[in-house]
Amino acid sequence: QVHLVEFGGGSVQAGGSLRLSCAASGDTLNKYCMGWFRQAPGKEREAVASIYTHGGSTWYTDSVKGRFTVSHDNAEKVLYLNMNTLQPEDTAMYYCAAAFIEPYDCYSGSWSPNLWGQGTQVTVST
C-alpha cells in the first residue's frame, strides 16, 4: 500500500517561487509515472507535470514550461515540483499522483493516476 503526502504549499506574491514535495510511504515507486495535477475553483483538474521514475523523462503542460521543474528522488521516494515566476493563474489546489503505467503514457496530460495525495493549496497574489 502506497500513500502520498504533499508538503510545501502556501501563499506567495506574483513572481515568487514555491517548492512542493510529495513523500511516498510504503512500496517503492520504481517504474512509476508520478506527477502533479492542479484544480482551481470552478475549473477542471489539469495535469501540470509528470516524470517517469525509471529514467527521469518529464512532461509539462504548456502554461508552466520554463517556470516549473518536476524531479524525483528515488532513494528518498520524494517527488518535487519547483515553481518559479508564479502567476495568479497558478493559484489552485495541487495534487501529487502516481500510476504504474508504460513510460510513453506518462508523457502527456491524459494519464490516469490511481494514487493521489490529499492536496496542498498554492495561492499567488498580485
* DSSP string covering the chain: --EEEEE--EEEETT--EEEEEEEESS--TT-EEEEEEE-TTS--EEEEEEETTT--EEE-GGGTTTEEEEEETTTTEEEEEE-S--GGG-EEEEEEEE---HHHHSSS----SEE---EEEEEE-
pLDDT value at position 74?
84
| Residue range 62-103, pLDDT digits in tens | 999 999 999 999 888 999 999 999 999 999 999 999 999 998
The pLDDT value recorded for residue 34 is 96
> Is the predicted pLDDT of residue 121 greater than 90, yes or no?
yes
- Give the least confident one: 14-18, 32-36, 108-112, 115-119: 108-112
Asked if the model's pLDDT at residue 28 lies above 80, the reply is: no
